Chain A
Amino acid sequence: MAPLVYFQILSAALFVIGLYGVLARRSAVLVVMSIELMLNAVNINLIAAASHLEGQGRFLNFDGHIIAIFVITIAAAEIGLALAIILRMYRNRATVDVDEINLMKW
């Protein structure tokens, strides 16, 4: 199996791609998608660390799996709520451009 560092570099790459998407895109839907990319990167990192703790997938410690399950659940809750807010925003303002949503800007 590939060493742990490969998985960590891969997960870092996926995370920064998501970071770029969050910072540099205008569509709120795409910002949500980029957040999902970042959460998936975190999950890869968790499972790789759990798997390499003892080597070759013979798990002694399942804490990484449990945290990954919680991350997936919270991501599901987050995406449901975020898309509800985006749809509401679109109904009220007819745009999902995050640069134009400045109601709460000081």
Chain B
Amino acid sequence: MVLQDIIFWLLAAIMLAAALGVVLVRDLFRAALLLVTVFLAVAGFFVLLSAQFLAVVQVLVYAGAVAILLVFAVMLTKDVARGNQPNRLRLPAAGLAGLALAVFIAVAVTTGWTPLPPSVQEQAALVQTQASGGTTPEGLEQAGISGEVQRSQAQRATLADLLLGEYVVPFEAVSVLLLAAAVGSLALLRGRPQG
């Protein structure tokens, strides 16, 4: 698919340029806005990878809530005037980052990322179909359902089944963690400053 390749390279260029801008630009407020650009580009990658639900969540949570929190923090701490200065670790940090990038790329290129053999895939599809009531592509085609909309709905249904079925214990743990974080940040910020 040529169009998908064009979109991939376009999104990659936008995302990397904006990410470099976040860590290099001097104005903190501009860094926050560039970070929103990175979040939206990542949401674009999710759509490109057919993970539509996660793309929506990404826009809602990151480009919406997290971005507003960050802009508030930038405004409230008045650090905009001092700007975004590097500390004295700048060169060692750049060297370490370059080294890490080289290692990551070497590992990614040299590892043989073979997909599962077809027999294992069929087995997995069978298990998934039994577990989630026939929402795999094969199950959908057997049930006579096709088209992108139905597939996207089936994706949400499968995610919901997994979240509240197999993964219900981590789901509840994360819920408690989120509540604890919200209460904790309120407790940190209430009352008069002591010093």
Number of interface residues of A (CB under 8 A): 77
**Contact in complex: A73, B5 (CB < 8 Å):** no
Write out, one digit per residue, whether chain B residues 141-161 have a CB within 8 A of any chain A CB (1) or not (0). 000000000000001001100
**Interface residues in B, total, Cβ within 8 A:** 89
Is the beta-carbon distance between A60 and B49 smaller than 8 angstroms? Answer: no
Give the Cβ gap from B42 to chain A, nearest Cβ, in Å.
5
Chain B residues whose CB sits within 8 angstroms of the CB of A23 once the complex forms = 89, 92-93, 96-97
Q: Which DSSP category, helix, strand, loop or mixed, fits chain A's interface?
A: helix
Partner of A33, one of B57, B70, B82: B70
Q: Contacts A7-B49, A72-B54, A85-B188 given; 4 further ones with Cβ under 8 A?
A: A14-B19, A60-B125, A70-B170, A86-B77
* B binding-site residues for A, Cβ under 8 Å: 1, 4-5, 8, 12, 15-16, 19-20, 22-23, 28, 31-32, 35, 38-39, 42, 45-46, 48-51, 53-54, 57-58, 61-62, 65-66, 69-70, 72-74, 76-77, 79, 82, 84-87, 89-90, 92-94, 96-98, 100-101, 104-105, 108-109, 113, 115-116, 121, 124-125, 128, 136-137, 155, 158-159, 162-163, 167, 170, 174, 177-178, 180-182, 184-186, 188-189, 193-195
